[in-house]
């Protein structure tokens, strides 16, 4: 074995040791076939499609949630308003009854 | 099957443009370079083929948007180097020891096969980044500046890694064959 006494001898020996080697037979054909089948493109395409679909679902879910929350608030506010109207009518009705009773009593005392 | 064109000369390869070349032409033209980088780094024929195929499939995917101004050879060297280093890191591709590592089945015809084998084993025992620096330097005959661009590392770091690696290799070789002094 060479003793690599001089600096350039190690360089030469490394160039020799790391010469390019041939790939396995049919390597290029296999690569071209895989590329033509576009498994990577398909995978990437599918992944991109899935990403867009997930984003769309997320946007729809958030929008739906916000819409539902707004509707719920509107419904609660509507019910509160209805309850207050009913209460007002109730109060007004009882007041009217009281006035009616007073009028009736007044008319009875006149007779 | 079409005859496989010879690899371009390293000094012109960096300036080569992919314009006008189809994907198949690019694969056939650069398969030796890509496979050899992966093979010398990973020292496993099947894994090197897997990594090399992945590199070319990435090229296929990025061919339309690739900035060809820097040359497809630079792009291939860069992606192959990074892919090999990532592969070694992720899979914890550890060599048991350089003495127990099986020598790859494919061996380039060399003047001194024993010396070449010993050197490949010693290089395999280097840290990942240093190993790739040595392979790019001696397989591709690249200067530290070009290696630094490929590995996205400062030139000074490449020079020091190369210097340290060569000193380690020389020391270990001397230990193996004995110091003549």
Q: Are A19 and B110 an interchain contact pair (Cβ–Cβ within 8 Å)?
A: yes
Contact B112 A1 (CB under 8 A): yes
Rounded to 5°, the CA angle B143-B117-B9 comes to 35
Provide, as residue numbers in chain A, all residues whose Cβ is less than 8 Å from the Cβ of B176: 1
A11: which chain B residues are within 8 Å (Cβ-Cβ)?
Answer: 138
Give tens-digit pLDDT for B48-79: 999 999 999 999 988 877 765 558 899 999 99
d(CA B97, CA B74): 32
Q: Mean pLDDT, chain A, as a whole number?
A: 86
**Residue B173 CB contacts under 8 Å (≥ 6 apart), including other chains:** A4, A10, B118, B119, B122
d(Cα B33, Cα B80) in Å, to the nearest integer?
Answer: 10
CB-side exposure of B76: number of CA atoms within 13 Å?
30
The CATH class given to the B10-177 domain equals mainly alpha
- State the average pLDDT for chain B: 80
CA separation for the pair B133, B145 (Å, rounded): 11
**What DSSP character marks residue B68?**
G
User: In B, which residues are within 8 Å of A15 by CB distance?
Assistant: 138, 141
B112 to A2: CB separation less than 8 angstroms, yes or no: yes
Average the pLDDT over B37-52 and give the result: 95
Cβ–Cβ of A34/B53 closer than 8 Å?
A: yes
């Amino acid at each position: 074995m060479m003793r690599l006494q001089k600096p350039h001898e190690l360089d030469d020996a490394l160039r020799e040791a790391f010469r390019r080697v041939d790939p396995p037979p049919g390597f290029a054909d296999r690569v071209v076939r895989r590329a033509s089948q576009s498994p990577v493109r398909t995978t990437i395409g599918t992944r991109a499609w899935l990403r867009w679909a997930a984003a769309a679902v997320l946007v729809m879910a958030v929008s739906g949630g916000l819409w539902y929350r707004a509707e719920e608030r509107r419904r609660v506010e509507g019910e509160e308003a209805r309850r207050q109207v009913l209460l007002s009518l109730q109060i007004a009705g009882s007041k009217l009854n009281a006035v009616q009773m007073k009028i009736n009593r007044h008319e009875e005392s006149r007779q | 099957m079409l005859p496989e064109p010879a690899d371009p000369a390293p000094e012109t390869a960096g300036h080569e443009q992919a314009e006008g070349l189809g994907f198949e032409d690019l694969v056939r033209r650069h398969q030796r370079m890509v496979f050899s980088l992966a093979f010398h780094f990973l020292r496993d024929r099947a894994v090197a083929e897997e990594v090399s195929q992945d590199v070319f499939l990435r090229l296929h995917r990025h061919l339309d948007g690739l900035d060809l101004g820097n040359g497809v050879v630079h792009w291939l060297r860069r992606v192959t180097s990074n892919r090999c280093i990532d592969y070694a890191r992720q899979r914890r591709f550890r060599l048991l020891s350089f003495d127990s590592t099986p020598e790859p089945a494919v061996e380039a015809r060399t003047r001194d096969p024993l010396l070449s084998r010993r050197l490949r084993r010693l290089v395999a025992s280097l840290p990942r980044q240093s190993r790739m620096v040595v392979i790019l330097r001696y397989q591709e005959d690249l200067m530290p500046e070009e290696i630094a661009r490929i590995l996205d590392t400062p030139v000074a770091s490449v020079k020091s890694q190369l210097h340290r690696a060569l000193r380690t290799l020389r020391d270990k070789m001397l230990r193996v064959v004995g110091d003549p002094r």
